[in-house]
Structures are given as C-alpha cells and as structure tokens.
Chains A and B, each alone.
Chain A
Amino acid sequence: MSALSDLNMFSVTGRERRLTVIQGDYAVNSDEGVVITTVLGSCVAVCLYDPVTMLSGMNHFLLAEPLPGHVADPSALERYGAFAMEQLINGMIKQGANRKSMKAHIYGGASMHGNMSDIGRSNARFARNFLDCDQIVVTKEDVGGAFARRVEMRARTGQIRCHHISMTQETSAPVFARKPVVRQNVGDVELF
C-alpha cells in the first residue's frame, strides 16, 4: 500500500487489538492485528502513515491553539494542536518514519453544539495548516458536519475507516467520558 486509504474493506474482529487514543494522547504502531481508534466530536484526529516503514500514527486534540494570555497552567497546553502534532510526528520519526514519505488524513472538527461550530472548524484548519507547513501531504479530510465520528486505523497497512455517528445513535463515546491524559513535567524549565 503506498498511502493511507479508506478502509471500506476490512472489518474489525474480536481477534484484533484496539488502541484507543483519548484526548491529548497519541499512538504509533505497526503491528499486524492492531487497530488504532478514537471517537471525535469537535476534536480533531490526524492519522499519519509511512508506507516505507509501514508505521501508523494517530493523535487527538481538543483545541487548535490557546488565545494569547489564556494559558494559566502549562499542562493545559497539552490539549492544543501544536503539541499533539509534535508528539505524533516525533513518535513516528523516533520509530523510523520519514516526514517526507508520510501521508496524512484529517478527521473530526464537527459542530456538535451550535456555539462550538468555530472550535471544530478551527481545529481542522489548524491541522491542515500544520501539515502544510511541515510539507506532509494530506490525502483525505473528513471534517465538519454535526455528527460524531469513530475512526479506526489498521496499524500495519494504514487503512482507515471513519464511521459517522448521528446524535440520535448510541454514542457512549469513551473518548468523551474519559479523562484527558496528563503527563508529568509539562512546561518544566530546568537550568543545569
């Protein structure tokens, strides 16, 4: 497979291991049988695939970027797109992927509530601009709308399936219910 592609042809079975990516988190994997998955509303997930190393990666961020002066706690910065993108791309590179051969998909950025429409749009725009600036080719976007999405990515092949979930359907959405990841040492400055 030379690039990320839609996954309309595979079904997730009980034998497959699922890696769920929650808010502020990311996953990089290339194992056969692993499906990286997340559930999105106005959040955005960027999926990266490097066909050379057969590495897949996915992040999940809540907000594009902080407004000036709105960051009281450095750990809050983890919710934002720049850190999520940095983590994901670095995670891929550390495992041998090359930025130049990576292909990207962007999912999410929905308008789940009327007053959050700008958040979703802003998230998607941020991801698009970041990837463009980093010269990573975006081969597919499925963003916007007024519905949640469940994204599933096969780690070995980079194949992706994105389900649209209407608000009337069951959306127990573990991503919404679980606590965001909190890392230690965020924003720490230590002079030697």
Chain B
Amino acid sequence: MTTRILAVDDSPSMRALLRNALVQQGYVVDQAEDGVAALEWLESNQPHLVITDINMPRMDGFELIEALRQGDRFQDLPILVLTTESSEEKKARARNAGATGWIVKPFDPEKLCAAVRRVTH
C-alpha cells in the first residue's frame, strides 16, 4: 500500500526539499502552505502521516495539531513536527498538543525517512 503524507510548510522551497526526500523513498506527498490549508485538504483526504512546520501564517503547527486532535477522526493519525525550533518548551507544547514526534531542521533525509517508517508501520 502506498503511504500518503501531507507536508505542511509555508515555504514552497522547504516543501519541495521535503517532498524530494520522501518521494525518493516511494512516498506520495501532498502539500499545504499552512494549518488552514491543511485542514481544508484534510476535510476530503486521509493521509497516513502529517509532517508540519511550526511557524506559519494564519494557523501555526501547534494550532493545527490541536485542531486535529480535537475530533475523533484524526486521533490516531501520526503527526511529526519538522521545525527550526529546538527549545524544550516548544517541544513540550507540541507533545502536549498531541504530536507524535519532533524533528529539528535541517533534517537528515535518512533520519527523517527512518522516523516516517517507524510512525507509519
């Protein structure tokens, strides 16, 4: 079965980098530019994993995770945070909001894909 991943980042360049790393490993990658766009896409799609940035306009990564965990539909959906933020405070906030994991940019494609495999199997 093909694993479908939603990549959420306000930078098209960063989305492209992330997409390239994942597509090379056989993943199907959809993209959203921020939390609002992600929620709109998720209304009619069901990915196996969401990878989200934190700092984004309109709706940031924390708010996106909180919104997804509020309902039943996405309770079990793995959500990885991929961010330049490295503070323990923000990591704890993501964990409390319901994130599955935390990856500090710049990401190592091999480590990223290993984490993706772990949370999607």
Residues of A bordering B, CB below 8 Å: 71, 74, 77-78, 80, 82-83, 85-87, 89-90, 93-94, 98-99, 129-130, 133-135, 183-192
Contact = CB atoms under 8 A, between A and B. Distances in A.
Interface of B: 10-14, 16-17, 55, 57, 84, 86, 91, 95, 99-108, 111-112, 114-115, 118-119
Contacts of B95: 192
For the residues of B in contact with A, the DSSP-based class is mixed
Nearest to B15: A133
Given A74-B111, A90-B84, A187-B107, A82 B14 contact: yes
A61 to B, nearest CB: 11
Given A85-B11, A183-B86, 20 more contacts: A74-B108, A74-B111, A77-B106, A77-B108, A85-B13, A86-B105, A86-B106, A89-B11, A93-B57, A98-B57, A129-B13, A133-B12, A133-B16, A187-B108, A188-B102, A189-B111, A190-B102, A190-B103, A191-B115, A191-B119
Contact of A186 (B17, B55, B57, B106): B106
5 tightest A-B contacts by CB? A77-B106, A83-B106, A191-B101, A185-B86, A74-B108
A117 B13 CA distance: 25
Name the residue among A90, A133, A186 with the largest chain B CB count within 10 angstroms. A90
Name the residue among A86, A89, A183 with the largest chain B CB count within 10 angstroms. A86
Contact of B104 (A94, A98, A188): A188
Nearest to A191: B101
B112 to A, nearest CB: 7
Nearest to A84: B106
A117 B55 CA distance: 36
Nearest to A82: B17
